[in-house]
Amino acid sequence: MIDAVGLHKVYRLKKSRVAALRGVDLRVEPGEIFGVVGQSGAGKSTLLRSVNLLERPDTGTVTVDGEELTALRGARLRAARRGIGMVHQHFALLSSRTVAGNVGFPLEVSGVGRAERRARVGELLELVGLADKARAYPSQLSGGQKQRVGIARALASRPKVLLSDEATSALDPATTDSILSLLRRLRDELGLTILLITHEMDVIKKICDSAAIMEDGAFLESGRVLDLIGTPGSLLARSLFPLPELGGSDTVVVTYPRSFDMPVMSELTRRFDVDVNILGGGVEQVAGQSVGRLGVAIRGDRRAEALSYLSTSGLLVEEVGK
């Protein structure tokens, strides 16, 4: 649904140049929630704005829903952009307009008549759970409600793709969860494709099917979240499941890249008569599976056999003491 290839972007200021994108390739499948995570200054917002060409990359191509946006200009580009909604961190609502006025604004701009607009705004407010707030002003809403207005407005023109720039970063944890659930429900009900950027690992854990880690204008790794977690040395696995400093020659890091219905660790002690001591880590729901990463000391004469049993069972085993 989104295909960006070879994106480069340099911002030229008076005396300096900042390479915000240094060769990014991004592919987001239809119906997928794709998260790009990285620290401030990594280039995430530049990437997002390149996808709808609010920022034109210096080189590279962007194709959305089969149409190459980088080949378009003027009215044709504006028309294509209507297929892409955008949600902002600080909501970007017009304070002088009611909730209904904000949600209907993009429809007004594109010349949709009053009656049709009213009906569509009613539907959209229903969709985001704000039907009773149509006449309220932004200043009368909580942060979470403001973001629901922002999401409704982004969906006004029935886009297939939604871009979200840190949509939950200004919200408290409980409100963040409710907005993330809303985004997932909209993906399920409307078949939306969502590209979101965030600096919070929790967002990746809670709703993303695929993810990329971005640093200094480039992706360090990207792919399906569960595939990445199961890849040796994965940065994403390390960031999602941080471990304490592990020492000891008998210590290993065991990664569970999917749900297991058998109790792997107790099976290990039973079969190979080893001692298993869990030193840190955790198991959590990620992309619908119980996955995790544990630091474990495994001791006993049959340790080597025990480790190969874990590997053949589908767990990833990495020695740390060597």
The residue with tokens 């949509």 is 167
Q: How far is the CB of 194 from Mg ion (least distance, A)?
A: 17
Q: Which of 30, 41, 288, 314 binds ligand ADP (CB under 6 A)?
A: 41
Backbone φ and ψ for 314, nearest 5 degrees, come out as 105, 5
Stretch that binds ligand ADP, among 13-21, 149-157, 202-210, 304-312 (CB under 6 A): 13-21
Q: How far is the CB of 188 from ligand ADP (least distance, A)?
A: 28
Q: How far is the CB of 175 from ligand ADP (least distance, A)?
A: 21
Task: For residues 145 and 130, give the distance between their C-alpha atoms in angstroms, rounded to a whole number.
Answer: 8
Q: How far is the CB of 87 from ligand ADP (least distance, A)?
A: 14
Give the one entry of Mg ion, ligand ADP, none that residue 11 binds, where binding means its C-beta sits below a cut-off of 5 to 8 angstroms depending on kind: ligand ADP
Task: For residues 10 and 21, give the distance between their C-alpha atoms in angstroms, rounded to a whole number.
Answer: 7
Among 163, 241, 162, CA closest to 197:
163
Give the one entry of Mg ion, ligand ADP, none that residue 42 binds, where binding means its C-beta sits below a cut-off of 5 to 8 angstroms depending on kind: ligand ADP
Q: Does 276 contact ligand ADP by CB under 6 A?
A: no
Neighbours of 114 (CB within 10 A): 10
Q: Does 172 contact ligand ADP by CB under 6 A?
A: no
Q: Which of 2, 24, 38, 99 binds ligand ADP (CB under 6 A)?
A: 38
Q: Does 18 contact ligand ADP by CB under 6 A?
A: yes
- The residues that touch ligand ADP, with contacts defined as CB under 6 A, are 11, 13, 18, 20, 38, 40-46
